[in-house]
Amino acid sequence: MTQPYDFSRPVELRCALDAGKTVTRLIPVLIVQAFAIWLLVALVLGVMFPHVAAISLVGGIVVAAGYCIPRYFRKRVELRRTYGEQQRLILHPNGLQKFDEAVVIDMPWAQISRFEYRNSSLPPARRPSLVGNPLRPAASAALQHSHTVMGWGIVGFGTLTPLPGASAQRLDLLDQLGQSNLRNGEPHQSPNCLIFPAEFEPSWTSGVVGAWLRHYRPDLELPAL
């Protein structure tokens, strides 16, 4: 028999995302970048050593691998830290609190307005710098794919507060998206704050998050996952 939930005490949910699966989505981007680097280095070495084709071919491979492979592992380590130590969701009698590596979102139960099926991944901070390169469309498409993760989000009026030590680049990106001033430490209120509960509980409508929503907002119809 399922134990009843105690809605008078805060509940903390840790991030349920897998760093390995997330970073795997970057592989197409890295492949395109590796090919572009290999091509550029091979051309340069081909001009420098026109009579030794192996130097340009092998040199391009070495440089491309030396750039892309460490980047893959650095990103995985970064995501493991974010998911394991920083990203969490707290449910309490006043509402929801969602923490990540940059900001905390506070959303009162009464201010939840709707559920929307949206992309839960932020757009990339930097676009492919392959200007004039025929590989640029492929790089852009791969980058777009790697930053597309669709899911149901809780939308409502909330407050974003920057966390101490947050990445300036990440705060700049959020400022561009929300016309805020998080970079300078100013909290920002918005009627369109988004929290994606599946990041913490994949089957959230039938789990802890769903139970809290039905308790505090019985007027809302939960989406079908």
Does the pTM surpass 0.85? The reply is no
Q: Say whether pLDDT at 142 is over 60.
A: no
Helix (H, G, I), strand (E, B) or coil at 90: strand
Distance, CA of 158 to CA of 97 (rounded, Å): 10
Cβ(155)–Cβ(113) below 8 Å: yes
Is the sign of the CA dihedral 119, 123, 128, 132 positive or negative?
Answer: positive
Q: What is the average pLDDT across 181-196?
A: 95
Domain boundaries, the chain: 17-86, 88-224
Of residues 47 and 191, more confidence is placed in: 191
Q: How many CA atoms lie within 13 A of 40 on its CB side?
A: 14
Contacts of 121 (CB under 8 A, 6+ apart): 147, 148, 149
Task: Count other C-beta atoms under 10 Å from residue 213's C-beta.
Answer: 21
Q: Indicate if the pLDDT at residue 1 is higher than 50.
A: no
Q: What is the mean pLDDT of the chain?
A: 86
Partners of 97 in the beta sheet?
90, 106
Over residues 100-123, mean pLDDT: 92
Whether the pLDDT of residue 109 is over 90: the answer is: yes
Top mean pLDDT of 34-38, 178-182, 194-198 is at 194-198
